[in-house]
Amino acid sequence: MANFEFGLTSRGAGRLPRVAALIAICFCASACSMIDQFNPFGPEKYKMEITPDTPASKTYDQGLDKLANGSPQEAAKKFTDLGKQYPSSDWARKGLLMTTYAQFQASDFTDAETSAERYLKEYPNSSDAAYVAYLQANAYYEQIPDISRDQESASKAYELFQNLVKKYPNSEYIEDAKFKIQVTADQLAGKEMSIGRFYLNRNNYTAAINRFRNVLQYYQTTRHAEEALYRLVEAYLGLGITGEAETAAAVLGHNFPDSQWYQDAYALLKGKGLSPHNDPTSWISKIYHSVVPS
């Protein structure tokens, strides 16, 4: 029978001190490493690199160079950095101004709108405020979609250009702002007319009248006013309210006597034994003469 002995053989016993020694060495090395890590007098583990500040004028010029080289998005980043490096300084103001301009040039209109709004909030009395307000309005203007889509951008542009004219009446941007007020008004009136015709074609006369009324109330100086008056004749005849139909035709004839829309309105009334007749108490008569062109 084989004789099995438990315990360490002389060979196995000889390994133990070596293993213990290795463990001890590793522990010491680890301990030394930990000591070195927290030793304030030990060698530097990480080198500190100090990036020298770039002069504001240099950052600004770099942004201008990016603009000149046709890279407005990169220019905007440079001008944004200027504001971060020199907050609460005139360089920050200049940086925000040029950021807005660069974003506009890059067609980043949403960013330009935000930057312009921030500028006008932080520097409302700046000599460049009128220009920034002009940029902001144009950022919305450039996003006006076709008449079939939502006209939120047109509405915002219309509002901002009007504010510009009121707040900065002597600025150099007034002439262009007034022109774009008329363009956006025509766009918004066109949208109202489109919806009004939709309702009219479905015999929803009340809804149609509300849309045509908006044209006369808010966009009376646009080319759509003539048609709006004619459509009111149609809508009121559809409702059987002949007095308002006659008034709409009378106002149309008084203001646009040579208009084809007036001739059509006259023929439409005549076919029903009616004729244009102005009722001074009608909202149509009152509202048409109460609007002063911008």
Q: Picking from 2-16, 73-87, 88-102, which range would have the lowest pLDDT averaged per residue?
A: 2-16
**Same domain? 64 vs 180:** yes
Select the more confidently predicted residue: 134 or 9: 134
pLDDT at 294 over 90: no
What is the crossing angle of helices 129-141 and 152-167, to 10°?
Answer: 160
Is 35 domain-assigned? no
Quote the mean pLDDT of the chain.
86
Is 175 domain-assigned? yes
Range of the domain at 243: 193-290
Select the more confidently predicted residue: 242 or 53: 242
Q: What is the mean pLDDT of residues 191-205?
A: 98
Q: What is the mean pLDDT of residues 188-211?
A: 98
Q: Which of 159, 185, 211 is the last residue of a domain?
A: 185
pLDDT at 131 over 50: yes
Q: What is the mean pLDDT of residues 8-23?
A: 42
**Same domain? 64 vs 181:** yes
Q: Name the pLDDT band for 14 (thresholds 50, 70, 90).
A: very low
pLDDT of residue 19: 41
**Same domain? 155 vs 211:** no
Question: 162: buried, middle or exposed (CB in 10 Å: 19+, 13-18, 0-12)?
Answer: middle
**Same domain? 70 vs 157:** yes
Is 274 domain-assigned? yes
Cβ-based neighbour number of residue 56 at 10 Å: 17
Q: What is the mean pLDDT of residues 244-269?
A: 97
Is 45 domain-assigned? no
Is the CB of residue 181 less than 8 Å from the CB of residue 165? yes
How many domains is the chain partitioned into structurally?
2
**Same domain? 73 vs 167:** yes
pLDDT at 97 over 60: yes
**Same domain? 98 vs 173:** yes
**Same domain? 88 vs 140:** yes
Query: pTM for this structure?
Result: 0.77
Q: Which of 136, 162, 185 is the last residue of a domain?
A: 185
Cβ-based neighbour number of residue 198 at 10 Å: 13
**Same domain? 104 vs 168:** yes
Is the CB of residue 134 less than 8 Å from the CB of residue 177? yes
pLDDT of residue 5: 39
Q: What is the mean pLDDT of residues 191-207?
A: 98
Q: Name the pLDDT band for 290 (thresholds 50, 70, 90).
A: low
pLDDT of residue 43: 54
pLDDT at 206 over 70: yes
Is 50 domain-assigned? no
Q: What is the mean pLDDT of residues 59-86?
A: 94
pLDDT of residue 288: 83
Q: Which of 185, 206, 239 is the last residue of a domain?
A: 185
**Same domain? 74 vs 159:** yes
Is 262 domain-assigned? yes
Domain CATH number, residue 164: 1.25.40.10
pLDDT of residue 50: 44
**Same domain? 175 vs 123:** yes
Is 210 domain-assigned? yes
**Same domain? 71 vs 162:** yes
pLDDT in tens, 216-238: 999 999 999 999 999 999 999 99
pLDDT in tens, 144-169: 999 889 999 999 999 999 999 999 99
Q: Picking from 18-22, 117-121, 128-132, which range would have the lowest pLDDT averaged per residue?
A: 18-22
pLDDT of residue 215: 97
**Same domain? 63 vs 171:** yes
Is 33 domain-assigned? no
Angstrom distance (rounded) from CA 128 to CA 116: 11
Q: Name the pLDDT band for 44 (thresholds 50, 70, 90).
A: low
